[in-house]
Structures are given as C-alpha cells and as structure tokens.
Amino acid sequence: MCYYEVLGVDRNATQERIKQAYRQLAMKCHPDRNPDSDATERYKEIAEAYAVLCDPAKRSQYDAGGHAGVSERWSTEDLFRDFEFGDFFGGTSPIWAAFSAICSADARTAAR
C-alpha cells in the first residue's frame, strides 16, 4: 500500500493538497457514514497514510525508506492534526466550535 496512492495524490503534492484529499476521503469512507463492509479498513488505511504524509519529517522518512522508514512512528495524535470536528460531524454550530476548542486545548496541553 503506497500512502500517496491511498490518498490519491502525487508524490510532489503540497501539504494542503494532502490535507484536502484526506478530508474528502475520510468523509466518504468513515464507517459511520459508509455502510460498506470494508469501510473501517479503508478508513484506517486513509488515516495511516495521512498521519505519515502530513508530517514533513515522517513524509521525508517515508520517501527515503518506504514503510520501513516510518513503521509505527506515527501516533493517534498525528491522525487528528488539523482535523476540524465540525467539518466532519456537524458544521459550524456553537456546540461544535466549543468541542473543537476543548480538543485543541487538550492537544496543546498534551504536547507540552
């Protein structure tokens, strides 16, 4: 599985294009939105590809050594980098804005 192919982007794709492709595929393939039997596995592949390609250091390691260069070097925090819950689960309501702010604050606290 090539991470670039999973996200449907070229190897020279910008970070913004990678993020855009991830968001589109995540919404399409999320198991809560997609009843297909393989939706969960497909979503995991998409999340893993994004976790590596959205981080410049991990992307560089992946480009140099493939999967061996980044094997198990991504975390669940990587999966939610730049992720806006409102975009995925409910628009821009005040409740989602508050939830997103809480999650962002928790992530900043955990990073310290």
What digits encode the pLDDT tens for the residues 49-84? 999 999 999 999 889 888 776 665 555 565 555 555
- Closest residue by Cα to residue 26 from 4, 50, 10, 3: 50
Supply the CATH number for residue 57's domain: 1.10.287.110
Tell me the pTM.
0.62
Residue 4, pLDDT score:
95
- The 10s digit of each residue's pLDDT in 4-51 is 999 999 999 999 999 999 999 999 988 888 889 898 999 999 999 999
In this structure, the answer to whether residues 22 and 43 fall within a common structural domain is yes
86-105 pLDDT, tens digit each: 555 555 555 556 655 666 65
Tokens 């925090």 belong to 77
Residue 65 CB burial class (10 angstroms; 0-12, 13-18, ≥19): exposed
DSSP state of 55: S
Closest C-alpha among 34, 70, 31 to residue 53: 70
**Bigger pLDDT: 2 or 67?**
2
Structural domains counted in the chain: 2
pLDDT value at position 7? Answer: 96
Expressed as residue numbers, the domain containing 100 is: 83-112
Q: Which position has the token pair 């560089």?
A: 60
Same domain, residue pair 76 and 93: no
Residue 67 shares a structural domain with residue 25:
yes
Residue 31's pLDDT is 86
